[in-house]
Structure 1
Amino acid sequence: MKTVQPPGGKSDAARRDVTSWVSVCPGGLWQVQRKWTVERKKGFVTPVLGSVCKVRVHCKGSPEKDPPAQQSDQSVESTSPSAVQATSYPRTPEAVLQIPLEEWVQVRVGEGQCDVIEACLDGMKAEEMCEFQVMPFNKDSTPKISGSSSQSEDQDASKGECTSYQYILELHSFTPGKESWEMTSGEKWTWVKSHKERGGQRFGKGDMWGASDSYCRAMKLLITLTERRNGKKDSKNDDKEEQGHTEASSLAAIEESKEGHSKELEAATEQDHVPTEDEYTGLKADLHSNLSLCQLKLNQPAKARASSLNATQLDPASTKAWYRLGQASLLVGELQDARQAFEKVLEIQPNSASARQALKQVNMKEKEVDNKLGQRLSKMFT
């Protein structure tokens, strides 16, 4: 996030930090700016990954076409994260905010139900409220929060200027969560797999931006497992004798109390699960490959090419990764790379009709390039 200070001329008490960022919505990217309109609460306890937050959003400006408001009376008073369930709403491309307005709802930080709301909750404390504004993202524009609660900017979207909407977010309360560095490897692994599964569900429903966001969230958390995995390996290498003794003792203890504590031991093993090299590499390759497909669907061939290239490096036997690398390379004009990628698919899967058809497209594209080059040379020497 980027923090921006308002212009001078005001006292320190009147000045309010303004934070700006870009959020992902089903319909695309939106520029968001948040500002504090009331005195901040004291303390350092704020929502973190896994926290279920009870929130309500009021519309200040032009109303947005959000899903119809639904009644939600569920409270978030419990201090146990597992005792409270987040409210599930279908994500729709027509809405920026994926929750109903003017109703108390539960949002779990990290699930990406509404990226705008989650980002606004960053750093908020219980019983606080903030004002935020959203408008379609344009890298060449710098949107500002208007001083008027009813003012809207109805301008031509083709010129990079379009309507902005203003809201007020209230945070009633939230359950405890954990920062990524506080999680066990098993907890992180569970979150990564849930992000991947959610990405697949969103892709199936045509929510490409949401699927891409889920795969990116999984990737970021998966990377944090590297140090823990490496640390565990180093520890094993440095203390082989001690580890062998510990393992023998542990096995004996497990055997003795197998009947009485089987469930507890199983839960502890899952919680402290450190993925193997194959598990880690395989999941990372899948995430890169899936992300590349989303980027192809979003007309981002350069990014898709980079993602699929990472996937092929992690899993050279993945025909999906090679095929998507070929598609992306073809779109960016890297015909030689496209040919090599499709040929690699046929090497792994000789009966792939799609790869053979793709090679025909590469041949046609190469002929077009050769013809254009020949015409240019002909003009130069005539």
Structure 2
Amino acid sequence: MDAKETSSFCSHPSWQSPDGSFIKTILEKGSGVDKPKESAICQIFVDPISISSTDSCIVKGFSYPTGCWFQSELGEGETAQDCLVDQCLETMLSGEVCHVDTPKGTRFLLRMASFENGKEPWEMDTNEKIEKAMRDHKKGGKAYRAGSIKVAERRYSRALRLLACIPEEAVTERITLLANLAACDVKMGRMSEAEKRCSRVLEKEPGYVKALYRRGVARAGMADWKGARKDFEALLRLDPTNKEAQRELLKAREGEKKEQLKISKALGKMFI
């Protein structure tokens, strides 16, 4: 579909997602009142919209098939564009057709013929929860390494929710997931949230090297140079050869030094 066909969309009401990641315009209303939830099996059609003849990269951004009907498990998308599809599906009714637009320029038509919701977490037994959580953890790591941070965050968050009510055997896995979410926070510039998550991890496991590093980076990002220095020093006591921590420690010390000099100058002016 090309951009000319989008001109008719202005006559339809639009809705923006709470996180601002997409704007949905309903072209054909669906039926019923139920909407798909995570793990629902949906029959969908994704049709990317080209703005110019050089926009073939838009199609490449989807791991989901495009231009044909296919069956999708909601929440199983592997790219940022797939994640947008999943988010939009959660707002749709059976039979609905909508146009999706994003701040980054990705545009597509999304049709959902029908869906069937899967098991809710409370309907799963312990083994099912653990198996699904481990799969999400693994795929979240793959997405993170590929640079799809929002996809990774969604995977880690879902895995953590699945393990929330499982007894003590899942404690270690929950700690790891919390630390991974902190890494996503750092990548997305949410330094305060990253610091809080790392502090929760370190309350449970004080020697968690990655949490010390991520909290140090988060504190440095908020100009808490003293706190950052302490984290990197603690990390290097546990892992003296960690080059990244050594480099960040130098930055933290330099930042702390400049801050102290600034305070000294300000105090000096008070007595002139």
- For each residue in 1:206-260, what CA deviation from the matched residue of structure 2 results, as whole angstroms up to 9, or x when unmatched? 222322222222223333xx2xx4xxxxxxxxxxxxxxxxxxxxxxxxxxxxxxx
In the alignment, the residues of structure 1 paired with residue 186 and residue 92 of structure 2 have an alpha-carbon distance, to the nearest angstrom, of 36
Q: Does the CA-based 8 Å contact 2:100-2:110 persist in structure 1? A: no
Corresponding position of 1:337? 227
Q: Does the CA-based 8 Å contact 1:21-1:32 persist in structure 2? A: yes
Corresponding position of 1:33? 24
Structure 1 residues 300 and 101, CA gap change in structure 2 (3 angstroms) = same
Q: Does the CA-based 8 Å contact 1:129-1:168 persist in structure 2? A: no
Once the two structures are TM-superposed, the CA of residue 104 in structure 1 deviates from its matched residue by 1.7
1:131 to 89, 98, 123: 98
Q: Does the CA-based 8 Å contact 2:83-2:151 persist in structure 1? A: no
Structure 1 residues 369 and 202, CA gap change in structure 2 (3 angstroms) = same
In the alignment, the residues of structure 1 paired with residue 270 and residue 143 of structure 2 have an alpha-carbon distance, to the nearest angstrom, of 53
Once the two structures are TM-superposed, the CA of residue 201 in structure 1 deviates from its matched residue by 0.6
Corresponding position of 1:249? none
- For this pair of structures, how many residues does the alignment match? 257
Corresponding position of 2:41? 52
In the alignment, the residues of structure 1 paired with residue 147 and residue 105 of structure 2 have an alpha-carbon distance, to the nearest angstrom, of 25
Corresponding position of 1:102? 67
Q: Does the CA-based 8 Å contact 2:22-2:84 persist in structure 1? A: no
Corresponding position of 1:282? 172
- 1:259-338 to structure 2, matched below 5 A, reads 276-277=167-168, 279-338=169-228
Structure 1 residues 375 and 181, CA gap change in structure 2 (3 angstroms) = same
Unaligned runs of 5+ in 2: 1-11
Once the two structures are TM-superposed, the CA of residue 351 in structure 1 deviates from its matched residue by 4.5
Aligned partner letter, 1:41: S
Q: Percent identity?
A: 25
Moved more, 342-351 or 304-313: 342-351
Is residue 21 from structure 1 mapped to residue 17 from structure 2 by the alignment? yes
In the alignment, the residues of structure 2 paired with residue 360 and residue 317 of structure 1 have an alpha-carbon distance, to the nearest angstrom, of 21
- For each residue in 1:257-302, what CA deviation from the matched residue of structure 2 results, as whole angstroms up to 9, or x when unmatched? xxxxxxxxxxxxxxxxxxx41x322111111212222222333322
Structure 1 residues 332 and 37, CA gap change in structure 2 (3 angstroms) = same
In the alignment, the residues of structure 2 paired with residue 210 and residue 123 of structure 1 have an alpha-carbon distance, to the nearest angstrom, of 18
Aligned partner letter, 1:112: G
1:111 to 69, 72, 76: 76
TM-score calculated relative to the size of structure 1: 0.58
Structure 1 residues 207 and 341, CA gap change in structure 2 (3 angstroms) = same
Q: Does the CA-based 8 Å contact 1:34-1:133 persist in structure 2? A: yes
Q: Does the CA-based 8 Å contact 2:63-2:77 persist in structure 1? A: no
Once the two structures are TM-superposed, the CA of residue 358 in structure 1 deviates from its matched residue by 3.2
Structure 1 residues 65 and 304, CA gap change in structure 2 (3 angstroms) = farther
Structure 1 residues 168 and 297, CA gap change in structure 2 (3 angstroms) = closer
Structure 1 residues 112 and 163, CA gap change in structure 2 (3 angstroms) = closer
Aligned partner letter, 2:42: C
Q: Which has the larger radius of gyration?
A: 1
1:378 to 257, 264, 268: 268
Once the two structures are TM-superposed, the CA of residue 42 in structure 1 deviates from its matched residue by 4.1
Corresponding position of 1:213? 154
Structure 1 residues 285 and 175, CA gap change in structure 2 (3 angstroms) = same
Is residue 178 from structure 1 mapped to residue 119 from structure 2 by the alignment? yes
SS in 2 for 1:30: coil
- 1:67-216 to structure 2, matched below 5 A, reads 92=61, 99-113=64-78, 114-122=82-90, 124=92, 126=94, 128-136=95-103, 165=107, 167-174=108-115, 177-216=118-157
Structure 1 residues 65 and 219, CA gap change in structure 2 (3 angstroms) = farther
Aligned partner letter, 1:122: E
Corresponding position of 1:73? none
Aligned partner letter, 1:119: Q
In the alignment, the residues of structure 1 paired with residue 222 and residue 33 of structure 2 have an alpha-carbon distance, to the nearest angstrom, of 51
